[in-house]
Structure 1
Amino acid sequence: MGQVREGTTWLSVIWRVCNVFMSLFFALATYVQINDPDAGMWMVGYGVPSVLCALISWKPLVSEHLAWRRVADLHVMISSSVVIMLGWRIHKEQITQIFQQEEGREFFGLLLTSMWLLLCRHSGRSAVGKLRVFTAVAITLFPFITWFYYHVNKELRSEWPSHCKTAI
């Protein structure tokens, strides 16, 4: 019985750490929008999940409060609508190098926020399970590895607009 509680405790700690890292990532994504022509919209798009993740890392049961769920649900609904529109545009214009196009980066950014908030939904209801934590670790690593990869390989950013190159 002690091993189950110990494992659950470690899963909870990993879950909270993942939320800290995702909160930091979304905060960084919010910051780099400063140079964007439509910065306000994107800063809200990344700022809201940053705050929601910070709240979970501080108090995991917050995901069960009605206010948290309503804000998260509204964000997922709006983000999903924009993801569908961007996805249609990417498909219609037959864009292949998705990360090289602003629409592709916006698509994946909003997809990431939606996936993360859906993963967080009802996470305070009971002990966080292994599948949720494993998924959280994988999703948490993805943006940091991708961002590092593009930072190291400057030639991949050569065709990006100037406002995407100067924030960091």
Structure 2
Amino acid sequence: VNDPDAELWVVVYAIPAVLALLVGFNPLITGNFIWKSVSAMHIIFCVVWAASLAYYLLLHAQQNILHEEEGRELSGLVIITAWMCLCHSSSKNPVGGRIQLAIAIVITLFPFISWVYIYINKEMRSSWPTHCKTVI
């Protein structure tokens, strides 16, 4: 409701979600040319967009980056990029290893841990915009 570019984010998150779902069904698909190409293009797109958001935040951030819309978007792009890089590199070793598993767990838990931290931190919560104070 309060996000003017919500449709764009549906596409940005849908592409890696579909690619990851395909990996879940068939881990060897990461060796497929089409899968690798779409994944690589999406990674490049996310890295360029994340760099532009980071530059914008460097110049214009007025408070904690998680309070800025661009900061939350940047966090999402970093998570997408890390996850897609993890999937992209799994074509070399589809079974995976301990390091890849640890990275996957950290990427998966990061949004939940950061949300709990922000929700528990009263100082950070007090400076939320009005529309965020009615969230769970």
Q: Which residue of 2 aligns with 1:107?
A: 74
Q: TM-score, normalised by structure 1?
A: 0.68
Runs (5+) with no aligned partner, structure 1: 1-33
Q: Of 131, 135, 150, which residue of structure 1 is paired with 2:99?
A: 131
Residues 100 and 156 in structure 1, CA contact (< 8 A), matched pair in contact too: no
Q: Is the 8 A contact 1:62 1:68 kept in 2?
A: yes
Contact 1:52 / 1:72 at 8 angstroms: preserved in 2?
yes
Question: Number of aligned pairs?
Answer: 134
Structure 2, unmatched stretches of 5+, are none
TM-score scaled by length of structure 2: 0.82
The CA deviation at 1:148 is 4.0
CA separation in 2, counterparts of 1:85 and 1:140?
A: 24
What is the RMSD computed on CA atoms of the aligned residues? 2.4
The one-letter code of the counterpart of 1:159 is W
Match of 1:89 in 2: 56
Judged with a 3 Å threshold, the aligned counterparts in structure 2 of structure 1 residues 147 and 111 are, in CA distance, closer, same or farther, namely same
Structure 1 residues 165, 37: closer, same or farther in 2, change over 3 A?
A: farther
Per-residue deviation, residues 82-106 of structure 1 (Å, max 9, x unmatched): 1111100111124440101101000
Contact 1:150–1:157 (Cα < 8 Å) also in 2: no
- Give per-residue Cα distances to partners, 1:18-68, cap 9 Å, x unaligned: xxxxxxxxxxxxxxxx65211111111111111111111221111111111
